[in-house]
Structure 1
Amino acid sequence: MIARAVSLLTLLLLLSPRSVMAADEAAVLHLIPSGARRGSTVEVLLRGSVNGKDSRRAWTSHPGLVVTFGKKNDRIKVEVKADVPPGRHWIRLANEGAASSPLAFVVSAIEEIAEKEPNNSSAEAQILKSRQCVVNGVLAKSRDVDSYRVSLRKGQTLVASMTANTALGSPMDGLIQVVSARGFVLAQDDDSLGLDPFIAWTARRDGDYYVRVFAFPSKTNSSIQLAGGPEFVYRLTITTAPYVDFTIPSAFTGKAPRALQVIGWNLEKSQQTWTVDGKTQGVSDQYFHAGWSNTISLKRVTHSSQVESEPNGRKKPQIVSLPVTISGRIGAARDRDVFSFKAKKGQALRISVESRQLGFPLDPVIRISDGKGKKLAETDTRSASTIDESITWTAPAKGKFLAEVRDLFDHGGPRYSYRLTIEPVVATVSATVEKDRWEVADKPLSIKLTVTRSGGFNKPVRFEAVELPAGVIAKPVISEPKGATAKAVALVLSRKPDAPARGSGVLRIVGRVDGVKDAVTVATAAIDRLPDRTEHLWLFLKPAAQKKKKK
């Protein structure tokens, strides 16, 4: 009797459908390491796992990133082709029924090293022999401290820069210290790059020094102690080689070659100038030049790019023509940079300044006044989520007006760099969806597109899917400038009769306007744990429900 029961159970297991087998998994929070040197291949540990054997697949934001899967569900290999530009790229891991959110993967052009434990104290510090490297580490447990030993000569400048919370989404508020051999803290930083730290420090004597990193949680709690955990992933650049802070100007058009002044540390004279042109390519406004240890923010614009020229205070403002992006610095305490421009009555302008989001200490304030100096508008936003300033302002009359940039606390210095843009408000439209992963089964899937029109955009927009997994179709839908569809529409996806039972792939939705060649907008969704958004959504085909047979 027992033997018959066991045989029956075995038969049921063999005949059971996939639905009662192991569920699809692709819950990956981080990649370790979270980057690699171009021209290399690395084994990457997943903070999570992706099952499915041959059904596993990967999407990457650059074709030069090639992902291969092995026997282990928590390991992948990433090959970085030599032509992949340095900067932050994205990898999504998936199988037929689950997918990760896009995961940040940073490509560099310098040596990459793995953190080695134990390295909590100076006595156990990991020795770094390279003068230009990125350490991929994890503050793996509560109160974890990672220490690295470097040898410096008198007058040599050490740069240590962490990438963790801002670019990788690690839930940490990191700190960096430079410590002497006797244990004295010589330099410390915590929030120069958002919640990520940055130090540039010059040695006063020859010797061994220690770079020490630790963290608090990014979301404060009542513990008031050092934090750590499997998700406290970081990349730490440690270098005495060329490290670039910013360029002057920090914007270019690409229409003609433009010589940029390069500002940073450990730069040879030949490295203090860089010429860019239309062929200069970057990754999401991050650019790299041979010999550097890092990428920098450089903005490609379609209008004039100018450089602030002192003196340009309230008594002698610098004259500019719109639209324009101005690269400047609040070079000293109580400095005010003032720019004079002309505007027509009723002309709507957007004035924005970028600084803290670029890693600089300026806490910017924008003031708009008339030609006589009477204040018309001033920004006063102060919150953790708004670190730079922008204002939409309408000229009350035809004439000359002044745009002023200063620091909230009247601080200033060589690194108080900013990028100020003054431009007419442009009619635009955007679209968002509530999540980046969707599934369609036997019933059609309706995806709500939230449509935002600004600057007087008043044209019908036709939304359509331009990338879909095999076996799925989508009927275009139109958002009219007025009425029920002006602010939201539903794009309906359904499976074809001959669609495969299961599958997954990229879903991309664009908005088009009649008479315009290119798409006017692409629908985006939030990326987990980061402020970034992605236009490369993911769609699953789920098995159609089995119809019950009539008895």
Structure 2
Amino acid sequence: MVQPQVPHKPPRSTCSRGFPVFLPRLMTFLRVAILVGGVFLAPLQAAPPTLSHLFPAGGQRGTKFTVTATGSFTWPVKIWAPGIEVTPQADSGKLDITIPADLPADRVWLRLFSAEGASASFPVQVGTLPEVVEKEPNNSPKTAQKLEGSSLLVNGVLEGADVDSFAVELQAGQTLVAAVEANTALGSPMDAMLQIVSPRGFVLAENNDDLQLDPRLAFTAPQAGIYIARLFAFPSTPGTNIAYAGGANFVYRLTLTTGPYITHALPLSAPLPAADPQAPPATIEVTGWNLPPQARVPLVKLGTDRLPFAEFDPIDDLRNVSVNEVGLAWVPGMAGSARIRLSPFTTIPELHPGGSEPAVVLKPSSLATGWLRKKGQVDFYKVPLTKGQACVFTVESRTLNLLVDPVLKLTDPTGTTVAEVDDTGPTQDCALAHTAAHDGDYTLSVRDRYAHFGERCVYRVTARLEQTDFELNLAADAVTVEPGKPAELVVKVVRRTGPEGALGPITVEIPSLPPGVTCPPVISEPTGPTAGEVKLSLTADGPAVAVPIRISGKTSQPAELQRFARTPARLGSTSEAVWLTVTEKAP
């Protein structure tokens, strides 16, 4: 910056009050700057809170524990976390969390918010076992952290390319289940490696990718003694070098138990809960490790009425439908849990017997579960269709954290192959839409691409008739409105046409807006630019507010139908909750 030249030893003229004569001119300049630029008049506006991670990232049902929230925020901050009780401590970032003992959820979501906006929401995992926190140093078998008991969960963080080791005492023949929650469950940027080693460091068992990037294994002790569970990680996004990685956000939860551990349910779907409150509670068979044969546990809708905004399976290339809900199979005393699709379509409770004879009849619209028990096994289904019927077929396994890489093949009644599908979209699962050209039984076959088989080579197959429907999708799960400045919210519209006919106009709106906030409904017409996208314009002229809202879509053609917009998928699920912030009016 060029400095103005000042005459040497300027004469000291003063005003009547004795101030230098240039001071009134300076004050005039400042007043002009305030009026023109607003630099000095407008107060600095605080930024919305941000959240990078929580530690620990969860807790046991029926307990109270302290969590450290890391991010950028002015303390104390407000918290939105339905289903659990959260109280800020006096110390910045410290939260006291209490999880109800009977909470029917495997995780809840926590969001920080203030008058300026809100952070992204982060998961708080809900477990059943006692929990401890990792203690350093524990980098080697010699310095492994000794754990009291053989059924607990360790909360840890891999900082600075760390290696964490935990010593567990086992009896001969005991099976230790070791399971990591990190990238898949928490979004931690780590690709973990899990090993069971001897006290001298010899590797006895290992796994690196089970639940996508999260490892999990079961190890049976050949003899009594001390065994070490060892954990380290690489970056979840591969780089140019191969090296251990770590950081403050490499947060994990490690379950170590010789007790029962649930991996999944059989079948993988169930009917929607009965509307009758007097109906007996539903149960479902679960499988995993250290479980008794044909063990059954209660099955409930995820969250029941305890969570005002439910989680849903994403609606993506696999053509899930919005009427499906998520169920949870869990029981106190058992580690792990299983998510199950709750569907209004017919659910076939029996597993496919395996192979081609007899073929299972899969009448649209229905769901079935198959289990590949033998190498190279191919399962066959008969699907009765009428000429002109549009049907959607899906096979899911990898997106359910199971091990089948499915290949779907459809053959028409003449024996002609209609299509063979491997991967659909970014997933390893598959989907196929087909309009029948013949009357009769179509044959649907399912196999693993690599002929794999085993305990967790289980899949869910769906055959459903295409229905007239629509979906509303959002690019963000939060919107901030400044008084006097409209905020725009883009809503993507996906229209589906079934035998009922094409959809008419869809009215998209936000019901139950807070006082002082307005948002005129918009119409998505059947054709033209609004058929696939509309824009909501929110304005505010009232008090500051921070609340969750829903975005609704309604149509009356060809029949009355209402759907709610879904947020972007995150950690395998989506929601209808959109966070609305209306900031304070400028003074």
- Per the normalisation by structure 1, the TM-score is 0.88
User: 2:205 pairs with 165, 183, 187, which one?
Assistant: 187
Per the alignment, residue 30 of structure 1 pairs with 53
Structure 1 gaps of 5+ residues are 9-15, 547-551
State how far apart, in whole Å, the 2-side matches of 1:458 and 1:237 are: 49
Distance in 2 (CA, whole Å) between partners of 1:117 and 1:477 is: 57
- The answer to whether structure 1 residue 310 and structure 2 residue 322 are counterparts is no
Task: Give 2:462's match in structure 1, choosing from 402, 421, 428.
Answer: 421
Once the two structures are superposed, what CA deviation does each residue of 1:443-474 show, in whole Å capped at 9, x if it has no partner? Answer: 22232212111235513222221354443122
Matches within 5 A, 1:127-526: 127-141=146-160, 143-253=161-271, 254=273, 260-268=284-292, 272-274=295-297, 276=299, 284-306=326-348, 307-313=350-356, 316-371=358-413, 373-381=415-423, 385-441=426-482, 442-456=484-498, 457-496=502-541, 499-500=542-543, 502-514=544-556, 520-526=562-568
Read off the aligned partner of 1:322 and give its amino acid letter: P
Determine the structure 2 residue equivalent to 1:13: none
Counterpart amino acid of residue 537 in structure 1 = V
Q: Assess, with a 3 A threshold, how the Cα gap between structure 1 residues 418 and 487 changes in structure 2: closer, same or farther.
A: same
Which residues of structure 2 form unaligned runs of 5+? 1-18, 28-39, 305-309, 312-325
8 Å Cα contact 1:303/1:323 also seen in 2: yes
Classify the secondary structure of the residue corresponding to 1:231.
coil
**CA distance 1:49–1:67, change in 2 (3 Å):** farther
Q: Residues of 2 paired with 1:59 and 1:518: CA distance? A: 34
1:260, 1:276 within 8 Å by CA — same for their partners in 2?
yes
Q: In the alignment, which of 90, 93, 97 is matched to residue 74 of structure 1?
A: 93
* SS of residue in 1 equivalent to 2:519: strand
* Whole-angstrom CA distance in 2 between matches of 1:205 and 1:212: 19
Task: Quote the Cα distance in structure 2 between the aligned partners of 1:515 and 1:72.
Answer: 56
Q: With the length of structure 2 as denominator, give the TM-score of the two structures.
A: 0.82
- The residue type paired with residue 374 of structure 2 is A
Distance 1:511 1:168, change over 3 A: same
For the 8 Å contact 2:517–2:538, the answer to whether it is kept is: yes
Deviation of the 1:199 alpha carbon: 0.3
Are residues 467 and 186 of structure 1, via their aligned partners in 2, closer, same or farther at CA, if it must alter by over 3 Å?
Answer: farther
Secondary structure, aligned partner of 1:485: helix
| Alignment-derived partner of residue 43 in structure 1 | 66
1:212 CA displacement: 0.7
Q: Note closer, same or farther for the CA distance 1:128–1:86 as it changes in structure 2 (3 Å cut).
A: farther
Structure 2: how far apart are the matches of 1:57 and 1:26?
10
Give the drift of 1:332.
1.1
Alpha-carbon RMSD: 2.9
State the 1:541 CA deviation: 2.1
Quick one: structure 1 residues 518 and 126, their matched pair in 2 at CA, closer, same or farther if it must change by over 3 Å? farther
Question: 1:278 and 1:196, CA in 2 relative to 1: closer, same or farther beyond 3 A?
Answer: closer
Cα pair 1:479 1:489 within 8 Å, conserved? yes
Return closer, same or farther for 1:397/1:139 CA change in 2, 3 Å cut-off.
same
- Structure 1 residues 130-164: Cα deviation after superposition (integer angstroms, max 9, x where no partner): 332221111122x2111111111111111111111
Partner Cα separation in structure 2 for residue 287 and residue 459 of structure 1: 40
Q: Which residue of 2 aligns with 1:549?
A: none
Closer/same/farther in 2, CA of residues 17 and 177 from structure 1, 3 Å limit:
farther
CA distance in 1, matches of 2:377, 2:524: 48
Identity of counterpart residues, as a percentage?
34
Q: 1:444 and 1:320, CA in 2 relative to 1: closer, same or farther beyond 3 A?
A: closer
Deviation by residue 1:288-315 (Cα, 9 ceiling, x = unmatched): 12331111122212222222342531x6
For residues 389 and 149 of structure 2, what CA distance do their matches in structure 1 show?
55
Which residue number in structure 2 is paired with residue 59 of structure 1? 80
SS of the residue aligned with 1:414?
A: coil
Q: For each residue in 1:56-104, what CA deviation from the matched residue of structure 2 results, as whole angstroms up to 9, or x when unmatched? A: 32222x3x31222233332222221223224021111111113111111
CA displacement at 1:18 relative to structure 2: 7.7
1:438 shift after superposition: 1.9
Secondary structure of the residue aligned to 1:475 is: coil
Q: Deviations for 1:1-31, whole angstroms, at most 9, x for unmatched residues?
A: 99xx9xx9xxxxxxx878327x234110211
Distance 1:250 1:382, change over 3 A: closer
* 8 Å CA contact retained: 1:469, 1:539: no
Report which stretch shifted further, 129-138 or 85-94: 129-138
The letter for the 1-side match of 2:228 is: Y
Bigger radius of gyration, 1 or 2? 2
Q: Which moved more, 1:514-523 or 1:534-543?
A: 514-523
